Amino acid sequence: MNKQEIVGYLSNDLKPFLIEDITPCLQIGVKTRAGFFSVPKLVLTCVDYLGALYVGWNNERKNGRPVFTSGPKAKAYLRDLFGQVYPEYKTHGDLLWEIYRHGTVHLNEPKILQNGARTISWQLFKGDFKERTIIGGVPTAPGKSIQMSQTHLVPAEIDGLPGEWMLPVCTTCLYEDLLASIDEYVGLIQKRSDIEDRFRKTVNEMVKPDITSITWP
């Protein structure tokens, strides 16, 4: 792939594919619960892929097979590309990844993390486009909640529960920021030959067939 083909793939193939896949989960304009787990799962799975392309493949292998994705690569993409869209990703991208990607992909819901006496849990909300802060209910006990200000990707200590924090994530923001990060990535590829070369080398290896012992008729 030359530079023009790489840019065309990201802008004209990958972005429309993501729009078609994620927009129905969001149900924009419908004031109901929708896509709370599926949106972070889809967005952060794509970040896994984009991180592999952005950082590049350096002949990492496991049991002879190439390994393209990794947590550090995805976190680098969140920090460097999402961080250009919204600075909180530079500071809290690691938390986003550990809570929302590992949990939704492997355990069906986001994780709760603990560091010493403090815990940080997940809190998902669906805002309107460009809406990063809302006042909404935060669970404090089974069947109980309080109203708190929640800002996308800004950790907040839960009122009345010292040491218990939450990491609010707005699913609409996460979706918008993914699309905007691809625009940032395209701009970087157009400016830097090393970023372009990493993409090309990694994609060229990704498209090679995997060797398998599975048989079929």
CA-CA distance, 3 to 48, in Å (whole number)?
Answer: 22
Domain count, the chain: 1
Residue 88 lies in a domain: yes
Q: How far is CA 178 from the centre of its chain?
A: 7
Residues 6+ apart with CB under 8 A from 74: 44, 47, 48, 50, 51, 97, 101
Q: What's the confidence (pLDDT) of residue 104?
A: 87
Residue 119 lies in a domain: no
Q: What's the confidence (pLDDT) of residue 31?
A: 64
Residue 79 lies in a domain: yes
Q: What's the confidence (pLDDT) of residue 129?
A: 79
Residue 122 lies in a domain: no
Q: What's the confidence (pLDDT) of residue 142?
A: 86
Residue 189 lies in a domain: yes
Q: What residues of the chain score a pLDDT lower than 70?
A: 28-33
Residue 74 lies in a domain: yes
Residue 201 lies in a domain: yes
Q: What's the confidence (pLDDT) of residue 121?
A: 96
The order of strands in the sheet holding 113-115 is 113-115, 118-125, 164-170, 156-157
Residue 121 lies in a domain: no
Q: What's the confidence (pLDDT) of residue 214?
A: 95
CA-CA distance, 169 to 100, in Å (whole number)?
Answer: 9
CA-CA distance, 37 to 44, in Å (whole number)?
Answer: 11
CA-CA distance, 43 to 38, in Å (whole number)?
Answer: 8
- Residue-range definition of the domain harbouring residue 199: 3-110+172-206
